[in-house]
Amino acid sequence: MTKKVYMDHNATTPVDPEVLEAMLPYLKDCYGNASSVHEWGKEARYGVEKARMQLGELLGVSESTLTFTSCGSESNNTILRSVASRFAGQGCHIIASAIEHPCIYRCLEDLENQAEVEVSWIEPDGNGVIHPDRIAEEIRMDTRLVSIMLANNETGVIQPIQKIAQMAHEKGIKVHSDTVQGVGKIPVDLEELGVDFATFSAHKLYGPKGIGAFYARDRSWITPMILGGGQENRLRAGTESVPMIVAFGAAAEKSKRVQQEEAELLVAMRDDLEKRLLESIPEALVCGKEAARLPGTLCVCFPGIMGTYLVLDMAEEGIAISSGSACSANQSKPSHVLIAMGIDSELARGAVRLSLGRANSPEQIEEVANTALRLIQNQKEHPPEEETELDLLSLCD
Ligand SMILES: Cc1ncc(COP(=O)(O)O)c(C=O)c1O
Could you read off the pLDDT of 53-86 as tens digits, one per residue? Answer: 999 999 999 999 999 999 999 999 999 999 999 9
Helix runs in the chain, H state only: 17-27, 39-59, 72-86, 102-113, 132-138, 161-170, 190-193, 231-234, 242-280, 307-316, 326-331, 336-340, 345-348, 363-381
User: Domains plus CATH for the chain?
Assistant: 5-13+258-381 (3.90.1150.10), 17-254 (3.40.640.10)
Radius of gyration of the chain (CA): 21
The atom of ligand 1 lying closest to the CA of 149 is 1
Q: Mean pLDDT over residues 319-330, rounded?
A: 69
- Which residue, 180, 133, 116, is CA-closest to 107? 116
Q: What does pTM read for this prediction?
A: 0.96
180 Cα–ligand 1 center, Å: 6
Average pLDDT, the chain: 95
| pLDDT at residue 385, rounded to an integer | 78
Q: What spacing in Å lies between the alpha carbon of 93 and ligand 1's midpoint?
A: 24
Beta bridge partners of 147: 96, 176
Q: By mean pLDDT, which of 122-126, 205-209, 328-332, 341-345 is the weakest?
A: 328-332
pLDDT of residue 115: 87
397 lines ligand 1 (CB under 6 A): yes
Strand partners, 212: 69, 201
Encode pLDDT of 291-319 as tens digits.
Answer: 999 999 999 999 999 999 999 999 999 99
Model confidence at 356, pLDDT cuts 50, 70, 90, reads very high
Report the atom number in ligand 1 closest to the C-alpha of 209: 10
Q: What is the DSSP string of 278-310?
A: HHH-TT-EETTTTS-B-TTEEEEEPTTS-HHHH
Using a 6 Å cutoff on CB, does residue 178 contact ligand 1? yes
- Predicted local confidence at residue 331, as pLDDT: 53
Cα–Cα nearest to 369, from 273, 284, 268: 273
Distance, CA of 309 to CA of 307 (rounded, Å) = 5
CA of 38 to the centre of ligand 1 (A): 36
* Closest C-alpha to ligand 1, atom 12: 397
Q: If we measure between CA atoms, which residue out of 386, 238, 375 comes closest to residue 310?
A: 375
Q: How far is CA 190 from CA 21, 49, 183, 200, in A?
A: 28, 19, 10, 12
